[in-house]
Amino acid sequence: MSFLGSKKVESFFIIFLLAFSLLLTFDISVTKNALASQSEGDAVKLLEGAKKEGEVLLYSTLSVQEGDQLFKGFHEKYPSIKTKMYRASGESILPRIVGEDQAKKYLCDVVSIPALLTDVLKKKNLLAKYLSPQGKFIPEVFKDPDGYWIGGYYMFNVLAYNTKLVAPKDVPRNYEDLLAPKWKGGKIGMDTGAINWFANVLKIMGEEKGLEYMKKLSGQDIKFRDGRALNSQMVAAGEISMTIPVLNHTTDRIKSQGAPIEWVAFEPVIVDINPPAVSAHAPHPNAARLFIDFMLSREGQEIIASIEKLPTRDDVNAGAAGARGKRFKILPYDPSFTDQYAKYAKLYHEVLMKKQSK
């Protein structure tokens, strides 16, 4: 073959590659557009289905005021869909959903309780899988690996204290400080259902040392009440000197109203992730998914930030609470606790609440 002939072959080969490249690019572009249209079509279908259903019922640990804020934003976008909320602690919502399932009485559409309890529902096949398209804006650490939920917000478990009853030099800085004789005699308050906190403290200390610590803490004559918010209010009212664990945003809200209350965090800070999830037998499954999409959207997450909770989206400013929390080392959520929830709940009552159980 002559040099000129080889040049012609080479030129032809280059033209062929260019043409193939353009064809491939066009094919990819068409595929992408088709996928986008399909996604758009799914969104339209979801909205149409939600409008036909006409309502959504949320079971949540949010306060009534916080739920109203979220519903207000949802109504602005979807005015034809009614919203209802059943508000209770996660420890109360869990058996309620289990009981409704046993009675074949399905009411709940979306359940939003701490991740540990959400995973208990997952294990009992009481949740439906749903991967919201908004999940691409949320870090993997806030997602269920099996695709059942994505965290809507998270909170710090902290110690709250009354600034009039506890001098700055006496503020506990770690768990051991709670065992000081000055805090004995009903000066410490606790929630009756802080199972996640209990399990995580045992993980931090090691189970054997952790249980020994809990026995000593029980000897401080702790006052137990149902609900962390109630315990925070008791601190603000001066009924108790301090309470652990409570949530940072609740303490901040009470403080903003002029109450003598402040919080400190023990590192690594135990975090509560609260994901919205679709009930396995949701009467309004499309409205449930639409509501979750909204809660995880930028608009929904900005509302979450406005009620002083920490949004899971990277592109939403978490506000003052988030700025304050950045300096803390966080203990990641451990899904393995789910399989041992009954064990930890039993230990919590037998070891820490033993005097109340008699």
Say what the pLDDT of residue 231 is: 95
Say what the pLDDT of residue 341 is: 87
Rounded distance between C-alpha atoms, residue 358 and residue 353, angstroms: 9
Residue 325: band (very low, low, confident or very high) from pLDDT cuts 50, 70, 90: low
Q: How many CB atoms lie within 10 A of CB 239?
A: 17
Asked whether residue 333 is domain-assigned, the answer is no
Burial class (CB in 10 A: 0-12, 13-18, 19+), 264: middle
Say what the pLDDT of residue 74 is: 98
Which stretches does DSSP call E strand in the chain?
55-60, 82-87, 110-112, 127-128, 153-162, 188-191, 223-225, 242-247, 261-264, 269-274, 276-279, 310-311, 330-331
HEC string of 218-247? Answer: HCCCCEEECCHHHHHHHHHCCCCCEEEEEE
**DSSP 8-state assignment for residue 150:** B
Residues 138 and 233 in one domain: no
Q: Is the pLDDT reported for residue 8 higher than 50? A: no
Average pLDDT over residues 22-40: 40
Average pLDDT over residues 227-236: 94
pTM: 0.73
Rounded distance between C-alpha atoms, residue 286 and residue 43, angstroms: 10
Residues 195 and 96 in one domain: no
Cβ contacts of 296 within 8 Å, gap of 6 or more? 132, 134, 135, 137, 138, 150, 152, 276, 312, 313
Asked whether residue 236 is domain-assigned, the answer is yes
Say what the pLDDT of residue 164 is: 98
Residues 267 and 316 in one domain: no
Residues 32 and 140 in one domain: no
Asked whether residue 39 is domain-assigned, the answer is yes
Asked whether residue 167 is domain-assigned, the answer is yes
Residues 33 and 69 in one domain: no
Residues 1 and 58 in one domain: no
Q: Is the pLDDT reported for residue 35 higher than 80? A: no
DSSP string computed for 126-141: -EE----GGGGGS-GG
Length of the chain: 358
By mean pLDDT, which of 32-36, 109-113, 142-146 is the weakest?
32-36
Task: Select from 35, 52, 69 the last residue of a domain.
Answer: 52
Average pLDDT over residues 333-338: 86
Asked whether residue 332 is domain-assigned, the answer is no
Say what the pLDDT of residue 43 is: 86
Say what the pLDDT of residue 5 is: 46
By mean pLDDT, which of 15-19, 174-178, 187-191, 222-226 is the weakest?
15-19
Tell which residue, 146, 90, 159, 60, has the closest CA to residue 345.
Answer: 90
Domain range spanning residue 290? 54-152+275-323
Say what the pLDDT of residue 4 is: 36
Average pLDDT over residues 83-97: 94
Residue 322: band (very low, low, confident or very high) from pLDDT cuts 50, 70, 90: low
Asked whether residue 331 is domain-assigned, the answer is no
Q: Which comes out higher in pLDDT, residue 179 or 356? A: 179
Instruction: Count up the domains in the chain and report the number.
Output: 3
3-class state of residue 144 by DSSP: coil
Q: Is the pLDDT reported for residue 94 higher than 50? A: yes
3-class state of residue 311 by DSSP: strand
Q: Is the pLDDT reported for residue 68 higher than 60? A: yes
Q: Is the pLDDT reported for residue 260 higher than 80? A: yes
Q: What angle do CA 135, 138, 139 make, to 5 degrees?
A: 125
By mean pLDDT, which of 31-35, 81-85, 166-170 is the weakest?
31-35
Say what the pLDDT of residue 323 is: 53
Q: Is the pLDDT reported for residue 314 higher than 90? A: no
Residues 165 and 307 in one domain: no
Identify the residue whose tokens are 């602690």. Answer: 89
Residues 45 and 59 in one domain: no
Asked whether residue 47 is domain-assigned, the answer is yes
Residues 28 and 60 in one domain: no
Identify the residue whose tokens are 């109360």. Answer: 92
Residues 167 and 195 in one domain: yes
Average pLDDT over residues 284-290: 98
Say what the pLDDT of residue 339 is: 87
Residues 128 and 159 in one domain: no
Average pLDDT over residues 182-200: 94
Residues 241/186, Cβ–Cβ less than 8 Å = no
Mean pLDDT of the chain: 87
Cβ contacts of 222 within 8 Å, gap of 6 or more? 186, 188, 189, 190, 352
By mean pLDDT, which of 20-34, 130-144, 156-170, 313-327 is the weakest?
20-34
Q: Is the pLDDT reported for residue 53 higher than 90? A: yes
How far is the CA of 266 from the CAs of 44, 163, 177, 235, in angstroms? 47, 18, 11, 18
* Six token digits for residue 204: 């931090």
Please report, for the domain that includes residue 235, its CATH number: 3.40.190.10
Residues 40 and 173 in one domain: no
Average pLDDT over residues 267-295: 96
Q: Is the pLDDT reported for residue 22 higher than 90? A: no
Tell which residue, 93, 91, 57, has the closest CA to residue 74.
Answer: 57
- Give the H/E segment covering residue 40: helix 3-53
Q: Which comes out higher in pLDDT, residue 131 or 38? A: 131
